Amino acid sequence: MSKHYYIGLMSGTSLDAIDATLISSDEDHIELVHSISSALPLAVKAQILELCDGTSKEIELLGRLDRELGSIFAQAALDLCQSAGISPSAIRAIGSHGQTVRHRPPDEQRASDIAFTLQIGDPNTIAEISGITTVADFRRRDIAAGGQGAPLVPAFHVAAFGQAGIERLIVNIGGMANISLLKADGKVIGFDTGPGNILMDSWIMHCQGHAFDRDGAWAQSGKLNQDLLETLLQDPYYAVHGPKSTGREQFNLVQLLNALESLPRIPPADVQATLLELTARSICDAIGRCSQKDSEVFICGGGSANHALFSRIQALLADRKVATTEALEIHPDWVEAAAFAWLAKQNIMGLAGNVPAVTGAKGPRILGAVYPG
């Protein structure tokens, strides 16, 4: 079988960068060929946050930002091709996740609400500038089929990391955290566990103006506040069984500040230490509820580089093997972007990209819309 090349573009909830990956794929094998990361311009990041928080000129801002992000994404794809030494004409398709600005999945408590999800980064603009066929808008078909529209990466996790007879958990820690349980019998379970980096990043930005807590150093300087942890763990999201997904709409700085107002003053470093514990605990509690004690755990996403967080997860899962996905031949920084390159391949091949048991959709669906180059 001849190899085909696909590009994946991912800009996640953390808004730290655009990750671009080049994969090759044949019938039996997926290989990460090359990858680069491009920082989002600070002005664009500020506009995304403004749009996420709500503004009186939402439609104007959304329209302009949609086109601007499309241009930025297209340039990231072209930069990736140049860095990899491959012609854009050799790329079969780009898979662009887009930038999520709203995610309102189905909710049993608000059954009358119409579920929707919205990602921007105009794929027409990506295809026009890059000259490469672009597949985008992956989530909304799953939503239309009654699903959560997320997480979508478990299907890729199966293709890239699944192994018959071995139970594995793939833990992606981005802005939000999600897990994929790849059972030994081939069945798949997956869902968002709650906040990944989002609350830690938001708090250090609020207090110190830093985008993130490098290696969890600030968190390690503080002490766990049990009252705050218990308050935050009362969020009803944690008690909901999958399928489930979440985003900035549920876990954000305003939610945290409201929780802090209900408690005696807590030193800022102690808040950060508690937020790290919240992320680790919510991930590990979810793992404990759904998996066997001897299952292997592999971590990816930006949170895998937070040494304090990684060490805390290892401590909470002391009876299991815990490593990053680098042990499975894909560096943890590039797994999600590679997933959307693979999802583009699935679309082009006319194959389903969702896992109904994960998202809750009525059945397998081909995800995304195609914009010819």
Quote the pLDDT of residue 223: 98
pLDDT in tens, 35-76: 999 999 999 999 999 998 887 789 999 999 999 999 999 999
Can you tell me the mean pLDDT for 138-144? 97
Structure confidence at residue 112 as a pLDDT band (50, 70, 90)? low
Determine contact, residues 101/120, Cβ cutoff 8 Å. yes
**Coil, helix or strand at residue 181:** strand
Can you tell me the mean pLDDT for 208-222? 96
Quote the pLDDT of residue 3: 86
DSSP 134: E
The architecture of the domain spanning 4-150+334-371 is 2-Layer Sandwich (3.30)
pLDDT in tens, 68-105: 999 999 999 999 999 999 999 999 999 999 999 999 99
Give just the sign of the alpha carbon dihedral 245, 249, 252, 254: negative
Quote the pLDDT of residue 108: 67
CA 279 distance to own-chain centroid? 14
Quote the pLDDT of residue 116: 95
Answer yes or no: is pLDDT of 216 > 80.
Answer: yes
Top pLDDT among 13 and 256 is at: 256
State how far the Cα of 151 lies from the Cα of 307, in Å rounded to an integer.
Answer: 25
Q: What are phi and psi of 55, to 5 degrees?
A: -150, 155
Structure confidence at residue 111 as a pLDDT band (50, 70, 90)? low
Residues 6+ positions from 46 with CB-CB distance below 8 Å:
none
Can you tell me the mean pLDDT for 272-299? 96
Residues 6+ positions from 193 with CB-CB distance below 8 Å:
176, 177, 178, 179, 282, 283, 286
Quote the pLDDT of residue 2: 76
Angle, CA of 116, 119 and 120, to the nearest 5°: 140
Can you tell me the mean pLDDT for 186-207? 96
Q: Which residues are annotated as a binding site for ATP?
A: 12-19
Residues 6+ positions from 33 with CB-CB distance below 8 Å:
5, 22, 23, 24, 84
DSSP E strand stretches across the chain: 4-10, 18-25, 30-38, 91-96, 99-104, 116-120, 134-136, 168-173, 176-182, 188-195, 296-300, 322-324, 369-371
| 3-state class percentages of the chain: helix first, strand second, coil last, to nearest 5 | 45, 20, 35
Structure confidence at residue 1 as a pLDDT band (50, 70, 90)? low
* Identical fold, 4-150+334-371 and 154-328: yes
Q: What is the pTM of this model?
A: 0.93
Angle, CA of 353, 356 and 361, to the nearest 5°: 100
Residues 6+ positions from 333 with CB-CB distance below 8 Å:
19, 35, 37, 300, 301, 302, 304, 305
Residues 6+ positions from 252 with CB-CB distance below 8 Å:
198, 199, 202
Strands 188-195, 30-38: pairing kind:
unpaired
| Preceding peptide of 105 cis, ω within 30° | no
Q: How many CB atoms lie within 10 A of CB 264?
A: 7
Quote the pLDDT of residue 47: 94
State how far the Cα of 171 lies from the Cα of 284, in Å rounded to an integer.
Answer: 10
Can you tell me the mean pLDDT for 116-124? 97
**How distant, in Å, are the alpha carbons of 42, 136, 207, 271, 309 from that of 227?**
35, 43, 20, 11, 20
pLDDT in tens, 153-194: 999 999 999 999 999 999 999 999 999 999 999 999 999 999
pLDDT in tens, 219-242: 999 999 999 999 999 999 999 988
Q: Which residues are annotated as a binding site?
A: 12-19
Determine contact, residues 324/72, Cβ cutoff 8 Å. no
Can you tell me the mean pLDDT for 97-122? 88
**CATH 3.30.420.40 is the classification of domain 154-328:** yes
| Preceding peptide of 332 cis, ω within 30° | no
Residues 6+ positions from 92 with CB-CB distance below 8 Å:
4, 5, 6, 133, 344, 345, 348
- Computed over every residue of the chain, the mean pLDDT equals 95
Structure confidence at residue 109 as a pLDDT band (50, 70, 90)? low
State how far the Cα of 101 lies from the Cα of 253, in Å rounded to an integer.
Answer: 16
Candidate from 15-24, 121-130, 268-277 with smallest mean pLDDT: 15-24
Domain ranges across the chain: 4-150+334-371, 154-328
